[in-house]
Amino acid sequence: MDIEKRHERVERDVKNGGEDTGSVSQARGLSPSPVCGGASGFLQLLHMSLEKLRGKSLVLVKRQEGTLNFRRGFLFFNFLFLASGITLITIGVQQHSTYAEMGEFAGKSLVKISIVLIAVGAIVILVSLLGDVGVFFNNHNIVTSFICILIVVIFLEILTGAVIYIFYNKLKYLDPDNQVVKGSMDYSNNARRVISEYRPEKRAAIDRVQEKYKCCGADGPSDWATSVGWANHDAVPESCCVGKGEGCGKDKDKVSSKGCLKIIKAILFKNLLWIGALCIVLGVVEGFGVFTGVGFCLAIKQKNYQSMS
């Protein structure tokens, strides 16, 4: 009976995986084998090491996936950032000729608006390229520099948008004969002076403005009656005519009744409002770029730390 019980116990232990080699040896009436016990312990240790390595591998895979997601998000934002810079430069170049024409009529300082757009677009493109370099080399320092510069750009864009919005509201209610903001540019007086003098070197620019925007004089056709540079006070330049025809300047019914100053101000107000809104929108959108940049920067730093360790 004792022998049968011992055999049953051995078979049960074998079915359970032979985890306790010492008990099997004791069931056979033998002393536990140190070789068998060492082999079992080694297998258990190997199994535990493999499980631990597998867990680390899963954690590493998840971290790599997180880094890849931040990298993709950062690249997507940088693409939008680069596209916005190219758009600003394109708009600035297109508007430069328009502001140059207006500048001959109402003051050359108007050209600064297009120059500012081109300059901001160039800065945006340079900052975007810096971010691309950081992504390409997975460089923590370059990405950190990109984030710092981007934060400064966001602050300046939002500040510029707010200043333009305030300036727009003040100009909106600006009386043509008065200056509300001390030190601001007086386009009204400059335009009236240009019409009054009507110098030969500026006549072509004045005629282009009047033809393009269907306007006449600074405040109206009556400005030509008091112009020193315009000899025929009984008529206006043919560029004021709505429909072209020989001698149309003498017929008041064929002449535009709108002053160019009012139209130029309307264009300036529209552009100022658009530029201010664009600056604020870009600042808000770029805030998401800072978020993805910080996440990507931390992922790079953590990866470098793990490589060192």
Burial of residue 285, with CB atoms counted within 10 A of its CB: 0-12 exposed, 13-18 middle, 19 or more buried = middle
Q: Tokens 């400005």: give the residue.
A: 223
Helix (H) or strand (E) holding 136: helix 111-137
User: Looking at residue 55, what is its pLDDT?
Assistant: 54
- Given a contact cutoff of 8 angstroms between Cβ atoms, the answer to whether 128 and 86 are in contact is no
d(CA 81, CA 87): 10
User: Looking at residue 170, what is its pLDDT?
Assistant: 61
Domain ranges for the chain: 2-32, 59-309
SS3 258: coil
User: Looking at residue 157, what is its pLDDT?
Assistant: 79
Which amino acid, 229? G
User: Looking at residue 52, what is its pLDDT?
Assistant: 61
User: Looking at residue 271, what is its pLDDT?
Assistant: 79
User: Looking at residue 196, what is its pLDDT?
Assistant: 92
Residues with pLDDT less than 70, the chain: 1-68, 106-110, 167-187, 303-309
Q: Rounded to 5 degrees, what angle do the CA atoms 287, 289, 294 make?
A: 100
SS3 273: helix
Closest-CA residue to 278 (of 160, 116, 166): 160
